[in-house]
A and B are shown apart, each in its own frame.
Chain A
Amino acid sequence: MTKHITAQPSAKADHASPVTPNPWSRLKHYTDARIGLGRAGHSLPTEAHLTFQLDHARARDAVHQPLDIEALSTLINERQHRAIPLHSAARDRAEYLKRPDLGRRLSDEAIQHLDQYRDTHREDCDIALIIADGLSARAIHDNIAPMLDTLLPRISEQGWKLGPITVVEQGRVAIGDPIGEKLKARMSIIMIGERPGLSSPDSLGIYFTWAPHSGRRDSERNCISNIRPAGQSYAAATDLLIYLMLEAERRQLSGVQLKDDSIVDSQLGDGRQGNLLLPH
């Protein structure tokens, strides 16, 4: 027997329903927060509970999904760039999760691989671009093509010379440092899967470092976060990154001292605008 299940456990709350809906659920329009879920007694209604479980399952899968190196290499080659696949010193995901230090270092094979590349390619570059799985390979799979298509033309526009694009499995942010150092790059850009949120398993982060070398501190990088279709746009992220790179070139540094402190008081209001809890 086949029964078609509709994915709507408690489609509509009616008179007989034990679920008390919340009259303010239309405020969901203003936030992604899980407000107005209603209640069964004092507890989560079935629909909200199962939605959470599904979202958590997706976020978990995003953490454990392997990076598709082959597809990424093809995608990079199609854009007329060389792809170099690398691996961090963390052998697998279990080790990666327990040993952040290993995810910041290259494996011995990866070091050899980069040395061999340098033997035949002596020329230095302006930018080392690194793609790493981080905590969400899905963020890379979903976002990398449109992200590259927005960014790469802007890089050539500036006349910057882009080195080979490295693709790193089990990588953390700081792995961009030894890679940038080996490639003799003036700056490094690492695109990495961020820690997946329940509502954002696909969030891409970009970290920018001036003069990358092993031992750089996190305070010497700039971060652009939450890049995904429902978050920060590829265009906005690209604008900010190019701004940071130009500033870094001018001041010969990156990190907290480049902080974008562009918020001015006049943009902020007095705390009343938009506050629907106060008389309007």
Chain B
Amino acid sequence: MERIIDMGGQRYRYRNLGALMAQATPLRSGDELAGVAAQNAEARAIAQWALADVPLADFLNEALIPYEDDEVTRLIMDRHDRNAFAPVAHMTVGDFRNWLLSHQADTATLQALAPGLTPEMVAAVSKIMRLQDLILVASKCEVVTRFRNTIGLKGHLSTRLQPNHPTDNPTGIAASILDGLMYGNGDAVIGINPATDNTSAVTTLLKMLDEVIQHYEIPTQSCILTHVTTAIEAIQRGAPTDLVFQSIAGTQAANEGFGINLALLKEGHDAAQSLQRGTVGQNVMYFETGQGSALSANGHHGIDQQTLEARAYAVAREFSPLLVNTVVGFIGPEYLFDGKQIIRAGLEDHFCGKLLGVPMGCDICYTNHAEADQDDMDMLLTLLGTAGCNFIMGIPGSDDIMLNYQTTSFHDALYVRDVLQRSPAPEFQQWLEAMSIMDPQQRLLVGQQLPAAFQQALSP
């Protein structure tokens, strides 16, 4: 449906809701590359006025990508909960922003609302919000998930320990795991990006992580970030698999580019659940996303990258994941040009995911060809911590020697926990204390000596 707004004696027309959403999106290079961005700053600001006037209910009647063409649209529409939507059903996007910021929208109210919201609604409202709005509203949300520990409770911040090595060398990986554990990291997951998708190699890594977790009785879970089909095969071969990983996107076409569809994700989910390896819960999926992935896979349908990213969370939500990670600065400057764009995107993704009821974490990261540096990452880290982000990455010295990008370090996690009074997952915190890695005030204890249980690592 065409939409029209008259502003300052000028008439502005939008071909359809998707075009309006794209023009209202804060500037980013990926939308310019796709040719969907507003022509100039004024056009963008006017599109935001027009978007604020759109009733939320319109998103249920006007699919951005046709229902017949796209299984993600079908998932969003078919799963929409009209009863949960009722409290905001009469609102426009602009009203919805006001209501979200109001004291009426508290934690319990937002949790009850989540099944009534679609990705397009939350993406729309995010486009007319400042960073402080995104932070304030997200900080009111609470999405808690469980496997061998409890992630996402208010006042807690977890980390993925990411011990990547360019050749999957077991000693090199073990050295990075030790480093991370001694810095109190690893409660979200110990997760490796393997150098190969080979099922046997993946199985070997799964066994390695399983033995470490069992030997030290660490209340955490492992994951090898390989294609879902490889994980299913590994499970069939008896590999000790905690979490099944997959990169996902917000359109059927982009997911096909990843070699997946909803049926395959369900198969992966069911395979992991059949093992019943969780002790306090059975959230068994780990998803990664990122703005720009749909354009990169040539499956964007003329929709802006932030809206498509929010649609990926509807895919995630369907499979009750333990962790959803927006890998915000990994894709490169053709999608998010600089620190400013990366920071905003990270906060938008976290906000949209949380409102939809998804356990959002963020890989706060950048590549060396983006206009960004450690100062930008410190800003995003501090802001996401304030917003109540469920988890971040932890890697030795911020340097991923396998994927060639920079993400947050073990030290960074301690910084943000200290400055914002956040703790690790409660079960993991108890373990850190029992192992004499941290004291009850969350100060690291490890000095000249390794804790007793770990001394064998340095014995010849």
Chain A residues within CB distance 8 Å of chain B: 20-24, 26-28, 30-37, 39, 42-44, 48, 52-53, 55-56, 59-60, 62-63, 97-101, 135, 194-201, 203, 226, 231, 261, 263-265, 268-280
**Does B4 lie at the interface of the complex (its beta carbon under 8 Å from any beta carbon of A)?**
no
Known A271-B208, A276-B175; contact A42-B182, beta-carbon cutoff 8 A: no
Complex contacts, A194 vs chain B, CB 8 Å: 404
* Pairs across A and B, CB under 8 Å, 15 listed: A24-B175, A27-B175, A27-B178, A27-B458, A30-B171, A33-B163, A33-B165, A39-B183, A98-B29, A98-B333, A195-B404, A197-B405, A263-B200, A271-B210, A274-B171
Contact B368 A24 (CB under 8 A): no
- Quote the shortest CB–CB distance from A131 to chain B (angstroms): 19
Q: How far is the CA of A194 from the CA of B332 in the complex (A)?
A: 13
CB–CB A199/B401 < 8 A: yes
A27 (CB) vs chain B CBs: closest residue = B175
Residues of B with C-beta under 8 A to A35: 175-176, 178-179, 396-397
* 1/0 contact string of B165-194 vs chain A (CB within 8 Å): 110011111111111001100000000000
Tell me whether A275 and B170 are in contact in the complex, defined as CB-CB below 8 angstroms, given that A31-B401, A34-B398, A44-B409 are known contacts.
yes
| Contact call B208/A30, Cβ cutoff below 8 A | no
In Å, the complex CA distance between A227 and B204 comes to 26
Known interface pairs A99-B334, A196-B368, A275-B212; A22-B411 also in contact (CB < 8 Å) = no
In the complex the two chains form, is A34's CB within 8 Å of B175's CB?
no
The digit string for B324-341, where 1 denotes a CB below 8 A from any CB of A, is 000000001110010000
Query: Quick one: given A31-B401, A33-B176, are A271 and B333 in contact (CB under 8 Å)?
Result: no
Q: Is the CB of A63 within 8 A of B334?
A: no
* Interface-centre pick from A30, A44, A270, A271 (highest chain B CB count, 10 A): A271
CA distance in complex: A263, B201 (Å): 8
Q: Confirm or deny: B22 has a beta carbon within 8 angstroms of a beta carbon on chain A.
A: no
B367 interface contact, C-beta 8 A: yes
Closest to A265 in B: B200
Which residues does B use to contact A, with CB under 8 Å? Answer: 29, 32-33, 163-166, 169-179, 182-183, 196, 198, 200-201, 203-208, 210-212, 215-216, 332-334, 337, 367-369, 373-374, 395-401, 404-406, 409, 411, 414-415, 418, 443-444, 446-450, 454, 456-458
Nearest opposing residue in chain B for A45, CB measure: B411
Chain B interface, >50% SS class: helix
Q: A39-B411, A270-B207 are in contact. Are A276 and B457 (CB under 8 A)?
A: yes
CB–CB B333/A97 < 8 A: yes
Least CB separation from A201: chain B residue: B368
The docked-state distance in angstroms from the alpha carbon of A39 to that of B397 is 11
Closest chain A residue to B457, Cβ basis: A276
Query: Chain B residues near A34 (CB, 8 Å)?
Result: 396-399, 409
Given contacts A24-B457, A33-B396, contact A278 B205 (CB under 8 A): no
Q: How far is the CA of A26 from the CA of B373 in the complex (A)?
A: 29
What are the residues of chain A within 8 A of B176 when measuring CB–CB? 31, 33, 35
List, in ascending order, chain A residues with CB within 8 A of B443's CB: 42
With beta carbons under 8 angstroms apart, the residue of A20, A32, A98 that contacts B401 is A32
Do the beta carbons of B211 and A52 come within 8 Å of each other? no
User: Of all chain A residues, which has the CB nearest B168?
Assistant: A268
**Chain A nearest Cβ from B364, distance in angstroms:** 15
Q: Which 5 A-B pairs have the closest CB atoms?
A: A34-B397, A197-B404, A31-B172, A271-B207, A271-B208
A30, B203: Cα distance in complex, Å: 22
A277: which B residues are within 8 A, CB to CB? 174, 177-178, 212, 215-216, 454, 457
Min C-beta distance of B437 to chain A, whole Å:
12
Distance of B47 from chain A, by nearest CB (Å): 22
| Distance in Å: Cβ of A95 to nearest Cβ of chain B | 11
Which among A36, A98, A272 has the greatest number of chain B C-beta atoms within 10 A?
Answer: A98
Q: Which residues of B contact A98 (CB under 8 A)?
A: 29, 32-33, 333-334, 337
In the assembled complex, the Cα of A276 lies from the Cα of B337 at a distance in Å of 41
B207 and A278 form a contact (CB under 8 A): no
Give CA–CA (A196, B401) in the complex, Å. 11
Task: Across the interface, name the chain A residue whose C-beta is closest to B368.
Answer: A59
Does the CB pair A272–B208 fall under 8 Å? Answer: yes
Q: Is the CB of A198 within 8 A of B396?
A: no
Min CB distance A137 to B, Å, is 12
Q: A31-B172, A52-B398, A274-B169 are in contact. List 6 more A-B contacts (CB 8 A).
A: A20-B447, A24-B182, A35-B175, A265-B200, A271-B211, A276-B174
Minimum C-beta distance from B366 to chain A (A): 10
Which A residues are in CB contact (< 8 Å) with B456?
276, 279-280
Q: How far is the CA of A231 from the CA of B166 in the complex (A)?
A: 10
Q: Is the CB of A195 within 8 A of B369?
A: yes
> What separation, in Å, do the CA atoms of A199 and B398 have in the docked complex?
11
Q: Is the CB of A48 within 8 A of B397?
A: yes
Residue on A with the closest CB to B404? A197
**Docked CA distance A39–B216 (Å):** 24
**Contact B334 A97, beta carbon cutoff 8 Å:** yes
Contact call A31/B169, Cβ cutoff below 8 A: yes
Residues of A within 8 A of B203 (CB): 268
User: Are A276 and B171 in contact, with the CB atoms below 8 A?
Assistant: yes
* Nearest neighbor of B458 in chain A, beta-carbon distance: A24
Report how far A109 CA is from B454 CA in the complex, Å.
64
CA distance A99 to B33 in the complex (A): 7
Contacting pair B204 A31 (CB below 8 A): no
- Do residues A268 and B169 form an inter-chain contact, with CB atoms below 8 A? no
Chain B residues whose C-beta falls within 8 Å of the C-beta of A97 in the assembled complex? 332-334, 337, 369
Q: Contacts of B411 on A, CB cut-off 8 Å?
A: 37, 39, 42-44
C-alpha gap A101/B30 in the complex (Å): 12
Question: When chains A and B are docked, how far (Å) is the Cα of A195 from the Cα of B165?
Answer: 17
